[in-house]
Structure 1
Amino acid sequence: MNKSSIKNAVIPKKEKHVRDGYTRNMGPLDFKSRISEHTGDIMTISSNEVVTIPPTMSIIGAVKTMLEHGFRRLPVADAGTNRLEGIVTSKDIVDFLGGGKKHLMVKNRYKGNFLAAVNANVSEIMEENVVSLNVKDSIKNAMDTMIKQNVGGIPVTDDENKVKAIVSEKDFVFLLAGIMTGKTVNEYMSKNIITAPPDMPIGTAARSMINNGIRRLPVVKGDVLVGIITASDIMRFLGSGDIFEKLVTGNTAEIFKVPISTLIKREVVFTVPETDLGETASIMLDKNVGSLPVFENSQLKGIITERDIVRAMAE
């Protein structure tokens, strides 16, 4: 891992950014009791304004729906009954557009005809063995399921398998924000992180994400962290008007050679190893990010993600 400094960094203010405007100074025991208060009621933290798509929607239709609503995952449900049939994520889209095995469908099934491929049903790339929760499940069960199944979001269904809500890692971050847990970033951050140079082609970055099972890449130039790109950033780029037109007309090689530096749109927000996870959650919510690079003495030491926070809460 490169020992990197920071360019255009945003240093979080010392005051705590929390959803209700104050910091809850609760110790580890109080934190655990807060989780248990919600036992048996996953719906208290889930989003019931869930957007579903039918399995017959085109792949490009799914991309447009994700971009329109700012989601990185969509439950796929029967149009008539709303029964859950699968799920599609931004990583599935990146995989299909050129990142991994799903892209073979373009070559093999559609003979390289990208336009025909993106108009195929989303059911062709969705995950059919979808992990789901029941509306009667507990928050603790949801956390354990996320960790065990290694997923970032789970549809919530009723006893008839009809989609009623969706719970994501961000919902748990929201639950933790402002609580002083006694647990620090250093205990849960990933220390062996995969980075990428600014001139790495988008196609190479997409394959790196898919092959390594990650959805974000810190971008490092020399010893300077210049930004972070995500699978959603790549999907947004490939699904944009002019770029998408080039894809469907066969200019894929040109598109996938574009450097990832073109995707960096925001300043770097970071944290330090001794930061409490409750404060870290507040920063993530306040800055609308799913991860924070961790710096110590101007050197990149790791990265803390929403999933790391869920893992800490599940212990």
Structure 2
Amino acid sequence: MKNMKNKIMNKINNFDDFNLQTKKSENDGDIMSIAFKDIITASQSATIIEIANLMVEKDIRRVPITDPGSGKLLGIVTTMDILDFFGGGKKYNLITEKHKGNFLSAINAPIREIMTSNVKTMTNKDTIIDAATLMLEEHIGGCPIVNSADEIVGMVTEGDVVSKFDKLISDLEVQNIMATDIITTTPGTRIEGIAKIMVRNSLRRVPIVGENPQLPSSKEELLGFVTASDILKYIGQHKLFTKLFSNDGNDVVDITVDELMITDIITASKYDKLGDIANTMFESNIRGIPVVDDDSGKIIGIITIRDLLKAIVQ
């Protein structure tokens, strides 16, 4: 981690706009200058269904779990944890094993049963450089900030760091950093299937491809886009969380991707500048953009907020 931190420090030393402190002191480190401080938390006794609904209602991707008495951070739950529980990964075992397949019983289990307890955190004495280093080293999209009493005082994400340093990469092109090894799926994939794709490959978004019947060409092309948050929002908006009166979860997992995918997609060209991509992400509140060929319209890559963060330190 030290080598990466030094690399980041060397990269930003010549960045004229970086005029905040980068050393820890008795006061808050500069991490607090970009941190989100109005944090929504929950107790570990809250149920899984309550946390899922909270994420949908507040349009948030992660919920810190705290002790109601002391305010200390006990864990964190992300949209990926919820997808894992719905059938994407090992947390689905809570339904199949502990609750013997009783889905209704499982979604009313306390959130502590699926939360991450070993939380990667920053302290209020840390720096923005510390945050960038931690998120890249640990492959996480955001982390809580705690004080000396382990009370949560803020939250910082990849986007917060990128927004501080995006001028460093503003003139680079998408083709310099986009991922070209793309995992896609088709409109007929069930929610359970795409949840597994996301969890097993640590993906927060998946492009949907297939033939477009409205066009004369029969070639496979980009039809839509699905994120982990999209799945949660769809289920919440259609009240499926509260309609699961049967013991199995088929009402949820039998839904196919074509019912929830976003078809009004923001796309990028491989020649677009990263400064423009960053602006689009922040203005549209998205963290990933598919890259399509200018001539064929076929998807050739994807660029995410993490890619931008990596570009900043390279």
- Answer whether TM exceeds 0.5 for this pair: yes
Q: For 1:308, give the aligned amino acid.
A: D
Look up the match of 2:137: 148
Is 1:42–2:31 an aligned residue pair? Answer: yes
Question: Could you list the runs of 5+ residues in structure 1 that have no partner in the other structure?
Answer: 1-27
SS in 2 for 1:155: strand
Higher relative contact order (CA 8 A, sep 6+): 1
TM-score, normalised with respect to structure 2: 0.85
Residue 218 of structure 1 contacts residue 229 of structure 1 at CA under 8 Å; is this kept in 2? yes
Is 1:283–2:280 an aligned residue pair? Answer: yes
Aligned-residue Cα RMSD (Å) equals 2.0
Going from structure 1 to structure 2, the CA distance change for 1:36 and 1:198 (only over 3 Å counts) comes to farther
Larger mean CA deviation between 219-228 and 241-250 belongs to 241-250
Structure 1 residue 180: deviation in Å? 5.6
Is 1:258–2:258 an aligned residue pair? Answer: no
Larger mean CA deviation between 205-214 and 182-191 belongs to 182-191
Q: Give, in whole Å, the separation in 2 of the partners of 1:126 and 1:90.
A: 11
Structure 1 residue 245: deviation in Å? 3.9
Look up the match of 1:307: 306
Larger mean CA deviation between 297-306 and 244-253 belongs to 244-253
1:125 to 114, 132, 140: 114
Look up the match of 1:56: 45
Number of aligned pairs?
288
Structure 1 residue 46: deviation in Å? 0.8
Percent pairwise identity: 33
SS in 1 for 2:44: coil
Q: Give, in whole Å, the separation in 2 of the partners of 1:264 and 1:136.
A: 41
Residue 216 of structure 1 contacts residue 231 of structure 1 at CA under 8 Å; is this kept in 2? yes
Q: Give, in whole Å, the separation in 1 of the partners of 2:21 and 2:306.
A: 20
Deviations 1:256-314 (CA, angstroms, capped at 9, x unpaired): 22210111245110112232222210011122211111123333221000111111223
1:214 to 197, 203, 207: 203
Look up the match of 2:181: 192
Q: Give, in whole Å, the separation in 2 of the partners of 1:43 and 1:29.
A: 18
Structure 1 residue 153: deviation in Å? 0.8
Q: For 1:210, give the aligned amino acid.
A: V
TM-score, normalised with respect to structure 1: 0.85
Going from structure 1 to structure 2, the CA distance change for 1:30 and 1:301 (only over 3 Å counts) comes to farther
Question: Could you list the runs of 5+ residues in structure 2 that have no partner in the other structure?
Answer: 1-10, 23-28, 212-219
Residue 246 of structure 1 contacts residue 252 of structure 1 at CA under 8 Å; is this kept in 2? no
Q: Give, in whole Å, the separation in 1 of the partners of 2:169 and 2:96.
A: 52
SS in 2 for 1:37: coil
